[in-house]
Structure 1
Amino acid sequence: MSRPRIAFVGAGSTVFAKNLLGDILSFPELAGADIRLFDINQERLDVTGQVARRVAQTVGANPTVLSTTERQRALDGADFVINMIQVGGFEPATVTDFEIPRQFGLRQTIADTLGIGGIMRGLRTVPVLADISRDMERVCPHALHLNYVNPMAMNIWGLAKLSPRIATVGLCHSVQGTASELAHDLGLPAHEIDYLCAGINHMAFYLKFEHQGVDLYPRLLEIAGQGKAPEWNRVRYEMLQRVGYFVTESSEHFSEYTPYFIKRDRPDLIDRFNVPLDEYPRRCVNQIAGWEELRTKLQNPGEPLEVKPSVEYGSLIIHSMVTGQPRVVYGNVMNSPVLPGGEAGHGKLISNLPDECCVEVPCLVDRQGIQPTRIGRIPPQLAALMQTNINVQALTVEALIAGKREHIYHAAMLDPHTSAELDLDQIWALTDALLREHGDFIPQQLQVAD
């Protein structure tokens, strides 16, 4: 694989694509890669094409770059497919996921992984990912699919059901990102931290967290007990004191995966734990502004384009599979893995989680691809907490696979945050309202008639 063929699906996510391109093209072995950029938005695609060429120039790489609005053309013969789509976009879909629940008194922070917003995002995203995978089965059946799209667990689970022949790994930066944050809190170099982490995406926990063989949990518990947690991270430090382990995803994410922190009749909780309601729409507005700023910079050929390493695993996986250099990354895969070709794997990766769920575990990567690590049992309180989220994921995926709309309501009624705030009549009415508003973004058999 002297000239790897790498397809970016959803390449209009220009800032994210820029980071991944910088990572990939900075490796000498990947500097001549065949880059294919696909998006349905021609304007954004054009900007990303300019970015790709400027990144290559900045790092001294010489790739070929193809920009196309024809998906199969981008995928044809690809070795790696990097997926970063957002079905429905910020407007109308994300705005809908926040505005309609707010009318029912249900507030959210991120709404891309769980909760009623995560359910809706899964319903509109999994079918599109499955359609992409069917294209891959035709034109690049041996490619590795690197999925960055949320809701991660629902997406990987749905793809395992609908397109098991395509090798897929879900990638997130929460494990390595949180490790760096904790190292900063402890005043230690991040590269000196050793850890073992496992669970489900956005709710994995550090089973070990050490520095030069010394357990760091007593120091983290001391920070929590003395009230010295960073104000933006109070939720996670609180959970550390309650369950004994630190969770990977941010406090704003985690606050809506449980029934404890967001309550409309308890504004004191919002203040005490510094929960940023409606955080994701604010981020989207800032990301749009960042895209506009980047487009403006590209119009000035004299303006330098900064390229610096990101914390994403994508380039490391590609480099390891091309060169054979072994690495360990954290990936999202099925708990009972299905091997490429559809054969069943052997045994569960996390033994006290269900066979059919998506887990996040360390994975060895080399020329043989992604090889997940078997963890065994995790602490029972962590498995129980994860199960409350897995229930929602399972029912959302089942609604899509079986085409049964009633499972969407079941997912919502079992969601920890939604069920803590709304009664059953409200949950049914909210779900109806969201399904109507999303319209054709939702598979036809799951839609609600006007």
Structure 2
Amino acid sequence: MFHISTLNQIKIAYIGGGSQGWARSLMSDLSIDERMSGTVALYDLDFEAAQKNEVIGNYSGDGRWRYEAVSTLKRALSGADIVIISILPGSLDDMEIDVHLPERCGIYQSVGDTVGPGGIIRGLRAAPMFAEIARAIRDYAPESWVINYTNPMSVCTRVLYKVFPGIKAIGCCHEVFGTQKLLAEMVTERLGVEVLRREDIRVNVLGINHFTWITEASYRHIDLLPIFHEFSAHYGESGYELQGESWRDSVFRSAHRVAFDLFETYGAIPAAGDRHLAEFLHGPYLKQPGAWKFHLTSVSFRKQDRDEKRKETERLIVQKRGAAGKASGEEGVNIIAALLGLGEFVTNVNVPNQGQVSNLPLQAIVETNALITRNSVHPIFSGALPKGVEMLAARHVSNQEAVAEAGLTKDRALAFQAFRNDPLVTIDRSDAERLFHDMLAMHQMM
């Protein structure tokens, strides 16, 4: 059974421990949280990157956490209480193919890591990697709790459960947090009441990752949906920018015009950023991203960002400095604390559907709120998606199941069926076959 002898004996296994993003956020959050201490085993195929994070991690905080780069999954997982997965399935060169090769067929993607041609190929590439991870968890840490941050979230988490049905895994995503911030600013503007924390906006969340929806929202006793209807109507054409976050200044920001447009159609609040929402639909958004006030995130930008982070890594090591000792805004540490019995916590997670989304298939990976307590994650019943949204989401649920299965079995025919079934693949069959074949060939897959 799940057990730690004391809170000073926690072991976290970090798969993708050379990460310069998610891993550094964890280091920052652990360094300022005084409830826990222990060891973090950093495993990465790039062992040198994990070694550098070991140095930075051990400079972080007051020494309550010891970081160690390890060379095998077995060493990382043995004795682990918590497993965190944040890997890049492949390389940024692989992602460049995923995102930009379809452009020759007129298919543009704003992210390319969840759905669309890029998300599907990435899922096929990730499936055997996650199968290996699932088997290792089964063999070396079967009672651990697993937190996955890797995209495509639904496919990766589904593979974990298909390979090791007894796994205790959740997928975590911060997209809902941005919508809570939007609602908080709406309350301030429309009601003149300052919302101190975005968590004070209570939401009923349901859907699938990056295509998640809010059917109920409140602040204290106030129903926010009627207010959002007015807010959306007012800003639908011009867009709304969060305080200090102009959509022009960052490829990751938007003015929420896509979300407003979808709300006006379906009557529920989309709880993801416009870049993600746009990829789930065949519509006008990706044809004119500038008009809709969001960006297509190029992989050249990601490579530039990676290079800057590498330089920062070297600076931290030379200066003998740790990760920034401030809250990242992520909830991983609060989730870990709740699983270890240090209070209860409610947040949105991705887990197999046990009926918490009543009109999506059972066992599909869905995103809803969950109550997290000691050694337990209880999905909260969230009801049914609006019928129009259900029709859109169901198509992607079927595709994600097919991608997980095809990636595990190397079923090329099934993989192509999922590829062609994606709403962004509007080209004829022969062009779709050629694109699919070329993408697989360039990745040397299947």
Q: TM-score, normalised by structure 2?
A: 0.89
Shift of 1:334: 0.7
Q: How does 1:262-273 map to 2 (within 5 A)?
A: 262=285, 269-273=288-292
Q: How does 1:255-266 map to 2 (within 5 A)?
A: 255-262=278-285
The secondary structure found in structure 2 opposite 1:226 is helix
- CA contact 1:14–1:47 (8 Å) conserved in 2: no
Name 2:325's counterpart in structure 1: 307
Could you tell me which of 436, 440, 450 is aligned with 2:441?
A: 436
1:317 to 1:304, Cα distance in 2 relative to 1, 3 A:
closer
Could you tell me which of 241, 247, 251 is aligned with 2:270?
A: 247
- CA contact 2:403–2:415 (8 Å) conserved in 1: yes
Shift of 1:402: 4.1
1:411 to 1:304, Cα distance in 2 relative to 1, 3 A:
closer
For residues 109 and 232 of structure 2, the distance between their equivalents in structure 1, rounded to whole angstroms, comes to 25
| Paired letter, 2:282 | P
Name 2:244's counterpart in structure 1: none
Name 1:342's counterpart in structure 2: none
Shift of 1:43: 2.7
The secondary structure found in structure 1 opposite 2:358 is coil
For residues 304 and 126 of structure 1, the distance between their equivalents in structure 2, rounded to whole angstroms, comes to 34
State whether structure 2 residue 91 is matched by structure 1 residue 89: yes
State whether structure 2 residue 384 is matched by structure 1 residue 331: no
Identify unmatched segments of 5+ residues in structure 1: 337-347
The secondary structure found in structure 2 opposite 1:82 is strand
Shift of 1:281: 4.5
Could you tell me which of 349, 356, 359 is aligned with 1:352?
A: 359
Shift of 1:186: 4.0
Displaced runs of 4 or more, over 6 A: none
Which range moved further: 408-417 or 271-280? 271-280
For residues 79 and 261 of structure 2, the distance between their equivalents in structure 1, rounded to whole angstroms, comes to 49
| Paired letter, 1:234 | R
- CA contact 1:256–1:417 (8 Å) conserved in 2: yes
The secondary structure found in structure 2 opposite 1:53 is helix
State whether structure 2 residue 123 is matched by structure 1 residue 130: no
Shift of 1:75: 1.0
Shift of 1:199: 1.0
Name 1:381's counterpart in structure 2: 388
The secondary structure found in structure 2 opposite 1:365 is strand
State whether structure 2 residue 444 is matched by structure 1 residue 426: no
Q: Percent identity?
A: 26
Identify unmatched segments of 5+ residues in structure 2: 189-193, 241-246, 248-253
Which range moved further: 157-166 or 60-69? 60-69
Shift of 1:167: 1.1
State whether structure 2 residue 53 is matched by structure 1 residue 34: no
The secondary structure found in structure 2 opposite 1:142 is coil
Shift of 1:11: 1.0
Name 2:71's counterpart in structure 1: 69
Shift of 1:306: 2.6
1:411 to 1:239, Cα distance in 2 relative to 1, 3 A:
same
Name 2:60's counterpart in structure 1: 55
The secondary structure found in structure 2 opposite 1:271 is coil
1:279 to 1:215, Cα distance in 2 relative to 1, 3 A:
farther
1:116 to 1:382, Cα distance in 2 relative to 1, 3 A:
same
For residues 138 and 172 of structure 1, the distance between their equivalents in structure 2, rounded to whole angstroms, comes to 27
The secondary structure found in structure 2 opposite 1:418 is coil
Name 1:341's counterpart in structure 2: none
Shift of 1:431: 0.5
- CA contact 1:197–1:205 (8 Å) conserved in 2: yes
| Paired letter, 2:44 | D
Aligned length in residues: 418
For residues 356 and 306 of structure 1, the distance between their equivalents in structure 2, rounded to whole angstroms, comes to 39
Could you tell me which of 288, 293, 305 is aligned with 1:274?
A: 293
- CA contact 1:198–1:206 (8 Å) conserved in 2: yes
For residues 65 and 12 of structure 2, the distance between their equivalents in structure 1, rounded to whole angstroms, comes to 11
The one-character-per-residue Cα deviations of 1:277-307 (angstroms, maximum 9, x if unpaired) are 2445424432431332232233123x68532
Which range moved further: 317-326 or 187-196? 187-196
Which range moved further: 79-88 or 98-107? 98-107
For residues 39 and 437 of structure 2, the distance between their equivalents in structure 1, rounded to whole angstroms, comes to 45
The one-character-per-residue Cα deviations of 1:186-234 (angstroms, maximum 9, x if unpaired) are 4342243221111111111111111222122233222322234226221
Name 1:225's counterpart in structure 2: 233
| Paired letter, 2:114 | T
The one-character-per-residue Cα deviations of 1:137-161 (angstroms, maximum 9, x if unpaired) are 1111111111111000111112221
State whether structure 2 residue 397 is matched by structure 1 residue 397: no
Could you tell me which of 6, 23, 47 is aligned with 1:17?
A: 23
- CA contact 2:205–2:382 (8 Å) conserved in 1: no
The one-character-per-residue Cα deviations of 1:36-80 (angstroms, maximum 9, x if unpaired) are 111121331122112211222xxx242222111222111111111
| Paired letter, 1:200 | I
For residues 274 and 25 of structure 1, the distance between their equivalents in structure 2, rounded to whole angstroms, comes to 37
For residues 284 and 328 of structure 1, the distance between their equivalents in structure 2, rounded to whole angstroms, comes to 35
Which range moved further: 134-143 or 95-104? 95-104
Q: TM-score, normalised by structure 1?
A: 0.88
